[in-house]
């Protein structure tokens, strides 16, 4: 549904609320997809949200609730009666319940745990024990397990009986007496074989699986690389504990990309959307980086202080070229660093390739630097010098262009090597993206510029 359409429905709902036409609201909201219903409810104010939620049919209620923002969920959880809370919880899949619990304050969590049955409570506690960002926190424990000696008919009987409660039934897992994973069978395989065939005859024994403590980013990469629709998750003794499905991975991939992009722009990543974050949260995610980078940048100022008198004696025009040198160095460096960071994240570049990357960037940077310094020379000498009348001599232009050349080459090399170096040190490569590289390259390019100017100008002029 388009954003505009949804806004119309929101306006219509508010109007119906004023008219107290609840029958029409009920019709309207139950026709929406749960995701759109959730967006509608999220926009409602505190007073209206529960009355409207109560108009949802039983099936729609839980699905819509799961899709709401955590602020909206908290509002509802605080206003639900115990019976209402239990009704919603009973309809929810366990992985969704855990997701919600992780976002809620302690008193709300207590109420949720209290209203869950003993078995669910035990499972919730198991999942909550897994480390942050591990496979265990995104997996679902509701999967179909089959036994090796069953026939196709046995399997179908089993699936028919439990299908309603399982998120995914198309990938089934064959386990032994000790719950150890010994094979997989898809419903497609089952459909392609006769009813009385034992599944041991066609089950796939080489199963791609992951451990519950593995990082969820690795899980996403496994599923994406091998085009899996679900990945079985096992404990350290190869006992099945759950599955991660491809739609969970879509969210993980979106989150990981957002995290990397945030870090590259020197912002601490947040799981809330921009609109959900308060001004203070946004401030908190940005200030440390700005402070660190600002302090680092003041050291560049010290370089200027050191060389200022000498540069000024050579030509006051030299100062005017500093922003261009700094910006071009920064841009050249961030092109290289961001490309390498993304390559590392997608597993296309490995630390072992460091020399190959360096050799490639060296050649690219020489090509780029040649172009840029030629254009820079021409622009300064012909446009600023001859056309605009600034006293740019042949020697000044040469000093600036040579500095630009060196800056671009150094920026590219620093830019491509820093992320690989970070990876080797087990740091997140995304953190050493453009802002940090810019700060380093700024200082280096200024030193180069001052040294080249001081060497060339007195000698030639």
Q: Tokens at residue 87, please?
A: 């009704």
**Exactly one of 10, 145, 209, 262 binds a second copy (CB under 8 A); which one?**
262
**Exactly one of 25, 98, 172, 326 binds a second copy (CB under 8 A); which one?**
326
Is 204 a binding residue for a second copy by CB under 8 A? The answer is no
Answer whether 365's CB lies under 8 Å from 412's CB.
yes
**Exactly one of 25, 116, 260, 422 binds a second copy (CB under 8 A); which one?**
260
Is 58 a binding residue for a second copy by CB under 8 A? The answer is no
User: 236 in helix, strand or coil?
Assistant: coil
Is 195 a binding residue for a second copy by CB under 8 A? The answer is no
Residue 311, classified by CB atoms within 10 Å of its CB into exposed (0-12), middle (13-18) or buried (19+), is buried
Q: Which stretch binds a second copy (CB under 8 A): 99-107, 132-140, 236-244, 435-443?
A: 435-443
Interhelix angle 322-345/246-264, rounded to 10 degrees, is 160
Q: Which stretch binds a second copy (CB under 8 A): 17-25, 43-51, 122-130, 225-233?
A: 225-233
Q: Tokens at residue 108, please?
A: 């709300």
**Exactly one of 251, 313, 424, 460 binds a second copy (CB under 8 A); which one?**
251
- In angstroms, the CA 123 to CA 143 distance is 14
Within 144-173, the residues that bind a second copy by CB under 8 A are 156, 159-160, 163-164, 169-170
**Exactly one of 283, 313, 424, 427 binds a second copy (CB under 8 A); which one?**
283
Q: Write down the least CB distance from residue 216 to a second copy, Å.
A: 14
Is 317 a binding residue for a second copy by CB under 8 A? The answer is yes
Half-sphere exposure of 175 (CA within 13 A, CB side): 19
Q: Write down the least CB distance from residue 122 to a second copy, Å.
A: 27
Within 294-313, the residues that bind a second copy by CB under 8 A are 294-295, 297-298, 300-302, 304-305, 308-309, 312
Within the chain, what is the greatest distance between any pair of CA atoms?
96
Output DSSP code: residue 172: E
- In angstroms, the CA 60 to CA 37 distance is 9
Q: Tokens at residue 63, please?
A: 């699905």
- In angstroms, the CA 50 to CA 64 distance is 13
Nearest to a second copy of 1, 128 (CB atom): 1
Q: Write down the least CB distance from residue 375 to a second copy, Å.
A: 6
Number of residues near a second copy (by CB under 8 A): 117
**Exactly one of 42, 95, 99, 442 binds a second copy (CB under 8 A); which one?**
442
Is 331 a binding residue for a second copy by CB under 8 A? The answer is yes
Draw the binding track, 379-418, toward a second copy (x: CB under 8 A; -: no contact).
Answer: xx---x-----x-----------------x----------
Is 135 a binding residue for a second copy by CB under 8 A? The answer is no
Nearest to a second copy of 97, 300 (CB atom): 300
What 93-99 contacts at long range (C-beta under 8 Å, 24+ apart), as own/partner pairs, is 93/140, 93/142, 93/167, 94/120, 94/123, 94/124, 94/127, 94/140, 94/141, 94/142, 95/127, 95/138, 95/139, 95/140, 95/141, 95/167, 95/248, 96/66, 97/124, 98/124, 98/127, 98/128, 98/137, 99/66
Within 7-36, the residues that bind a second copy by CB under 8 A are 7, 31, 33, 35
Looking up tokens 């066609």, which residue turns up? Answer: 202
Regarding beta strands 240-245 and 230-234, do their DSSP bridges make them parallel or antiparallel, or are they unpaired? antiparallel
Q: Which stretch binds a second copy (CB under 8 A): 123-131, 133-141, 355-363, 451-459?
A: 355-363
């Amino acid at each position: 549904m388009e954003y505009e359409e949804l806004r119309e429905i929101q306006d219509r709902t508010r109007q119906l609320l004023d008219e107290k036409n609840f029958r029409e609201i009920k019709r309207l909201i139950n026709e929406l997809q749960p995701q759109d219903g959730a967006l509608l409810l999220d926009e409602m104010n505190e007073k209206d949200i529960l009355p409207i939620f109560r108009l949802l049919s039983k099936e729609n209620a839980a699905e819509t609730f799961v899709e709401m923002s955590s602020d909206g969920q908290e509002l509802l959880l605080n206003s639900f009666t115990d019976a209402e809370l239990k009704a919603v919880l009973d309809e929810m899949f366990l992985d969704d319940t855990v997701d919600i619990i992780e976002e809620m304050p302690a008193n709300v969590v207590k109420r949720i745990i209290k209203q869950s049955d003993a078995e669910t409570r035990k499972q919730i506690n198991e999942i909550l024990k897994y480390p942050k960002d591990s496979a265990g926190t995104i997996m679902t424990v509701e999967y179909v397990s089959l036994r090796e000696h069953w026939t196709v008919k046995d399997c179908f009987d089993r699936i028919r009986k439990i299908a309603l409660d399982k998120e995914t039934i198309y990938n089934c897992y064959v386990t032994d007496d000790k719950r150890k994973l010994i094979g997989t069978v898809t419903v497609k395989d089952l459909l392609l074989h006769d009813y009385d065939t034992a599944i041991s005859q066609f089950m796939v024994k080489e199963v791609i699986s992951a451990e519950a403590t593995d990082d969820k980013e690795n899980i996403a990469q496994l599923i994406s690389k091998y085009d899996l629709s679900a990945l079985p998750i096992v404990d350290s003794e190869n006992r099945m504990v759950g599955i991660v499905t491809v739609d969970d991975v879509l969210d993980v991939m979106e989150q990981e990309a957002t995290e990397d992009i945030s870090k590259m722009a020197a912002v601490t990543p947040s799981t809330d959307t921009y609109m959900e974050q308060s001004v203070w949260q946004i401030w908190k995610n940005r200030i440390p980086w700005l402070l660190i980078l600002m302090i680092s940048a003041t050291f560049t100022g010290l370089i200027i202080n050191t060389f200022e008198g000498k540069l000024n004696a050579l030509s006051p025009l030299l100062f005017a070229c500093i922003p261009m040198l700094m910006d071009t160095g920064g841009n050249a460096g961030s092109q290289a660093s961001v490309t390498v960071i993304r390559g590392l994240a997608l597993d296309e570049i490995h630390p072992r390739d460091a020399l190959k990357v360096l050799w490639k960037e060296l050649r690219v940077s020489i090509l780029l630097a040649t172009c840029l310094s030629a254009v820079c020379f021409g622009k300064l000498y012909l446009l600023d010098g001859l056309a605009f009348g600034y006293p740019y001599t042949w020697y000044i232009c040469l000093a600036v262009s040579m500095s630009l050349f060196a800056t671009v080459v150094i920026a590219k090399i620093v830019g491509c090597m820093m992320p690989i170096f970070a990876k080797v040190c087990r740091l997140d490569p995304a953190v050493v993206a453009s802002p940090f590289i810019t700060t380093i390259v700024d200082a280096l390019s200024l030193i180069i510029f001052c040294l080249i100017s001081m060497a060339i100008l007195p000698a030639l002029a």
